[in-house]
Amino acid sequence: MIILIEHMFDVNSRRGSLGESRILNRLMADDRVIDWAKTLGEAEIRAFMKARRRFLKRPSAKHLHDVRTAARRLRSLFKDFRDVLRPRRSKRLRRLIEVTSEARDAAVLRKTLRTALDTRERRVARATLSELRARERACFARVRRLLAGLRYST
Amino acid sequence: MKARNIDLTVACGIDDAMRRIAIVRFAELLTLAPALHTHRARDLHDFRIACTRLRCALERFTSKEPSLLEAASRLSQLQEALGNWHDREQLLAMVPELQLTARRIAIERDDALSRANALWRDAFAAYGPFEGLMRFTGLGYGFADGEAPGAGT
C-alpha cells in the first residue's frame, strides 16, 4: 500500500514545477480537461464574487463564513489544476483565507469558552472573552479591506 | 503540509483527470492518517487540512461521479470532529488559569478526537462511506474490517 502511494507521488513529481514547465504543461494538456477546469474555475469564481458582494454589503458572521468557504474552495481548485489553470491573485487569496480563519477562530473560541465556562470562574474569564471579541472585530475590518482589493472576472 | 502537485498533462479526458486528482489527495490523506494514533497536534492539523483538500475535490466531482458523495459527506463529518478538537486545543492554551473550565474543555477535546477516530475507522468498513472512493481510486483496500490506516486502538 505504502509503495503504491509513493509510486503515485513519484509519477506526479516527474515534471518540474517551474513557471516555464507549467506553460508547457498547459500547452500539452488534453483540451477536454482544460475546458472542464475552466468551467469549474468560472463556477468557483462566481460563487466567490457573490459571497464577496454579500459580505461587503452586510458584514456578518454568516457572510464571513460564506466568503471563507468560497475562498478556500477557489484556492483548492487552483492547487488541483495547477498544471492546466493559471492561479490568479493567489497571494491575496491566501492572505484573505488567513484573516477569515482568524476571525472565525476568535468567534468560535469565544462561543466555546462561554458555553464551557464554570460560573465560579466567570470573572477571571472576562478579559479573555473581551480579547477574543476585539480580535474578531479587528479581523472583520481587515477582511473588508482585503476583499475591496480582491476581484475576479469570469 | 504543502499540497502535492497533480500532473494533469497526461490525463486522457475528464474521468482520468478526476481519478488522478482523487488518487493524489486520497494518498495524502492515507499517508497522514497515523496522526489519529500519535495524537500529535501538528500531524492532526495536517490530517485535517488533507481532509479538506480531498473533500473539496470530491464535491466537484459528485455531479459526474455520484459514488463519491458518501465519502465527501464522511470527510465533512471528520473535518467537523477534527475542527472541534482543534478549537478546544487552542482554547486550552489560552486559559491555563481557568482550571475548572479547562477540565471541561479537555473532556470535550478528547471526545472530539475519539469521534474522529471512530468516523475514520468506520469509513473503511465493507460497503462503508469510503467504498465508492476506494473503488474509484483503487486505493485503501486491505484496511477493511476494523484496520483503518492509522486508526488508534
Sequence spans of domains, chain B: 13-137
Smallest CA-to-CA distance from B86 within A101, A128, A63 is with A101
Determine whether the interchain pair A109/B91 forms a contact, defined as Cβ–Cβ distance below 8 Å.
Answer: yes
Residue A78, chain B, CB below 8 Å: the answer is no
From chain A, pick out residues whose CB is under 8 angstroms from the CB of B98: 117-118, 121, 124-125, 128
From chain A, pick out residues whose CB is under 8 angstroms from the CB of B88: 112
What is the arithmetic mean of pLDDT over B49-77?
A: 95
Which ranges constitute the DSSP H helices of chain B?
13-32, 35-38, 41-61, 69-94, 99-123, 131-137
Confidence label for B148 from pLDDT (cuts 50, 70 and 90): low
Residue A128, chain B, CB below 8 Å: the answer is yes
Confidence label for B20 from pLDDT (cuts 50, 70 and 90): very high
- Looking at this predicted complex, what is its ipTM? 0.82
From chain A, pick out residues whose CB is under 8 angstroms from the CB of B4: 9, 12-13
Q: Which residue has the cell 490523506?
A: B29
Q: Let me know if domain A20-148 sits in CATH 1.40.20.10.
A: yes
Q: CB–CB of B33/B47 below 8 Å?
A: yes
Smallest CA-to-CA distance from B113 within B60, B66, B16, B48 is with B48
Instruction: Profile chain A (154 residues) by mean pLDDT over runs of 10 residues.
Output: 47 46 64 91 94 94 94 93 81 93 94 94 93 94 91 78
Listed range (A136-140, B68-72, B136-140) with the worst mean pLDDT: B136-140
Q: Which residue of A has its CA nearest to B91?
A: A109
**More reliable by pLDDT, B150 or B12:** B12
Sequence spans of domains, chain A: 20-148
What is the arithmetic mean of pLDDT over B79-92?
A: 95
Confidence label for B149 from pLDDT (cuts 50, 70 and 90): low
Determine whether the interchain pair B101/A121 forms a contact, defined as Cβ–Cβ distance below 8 Å.
Answer: yes
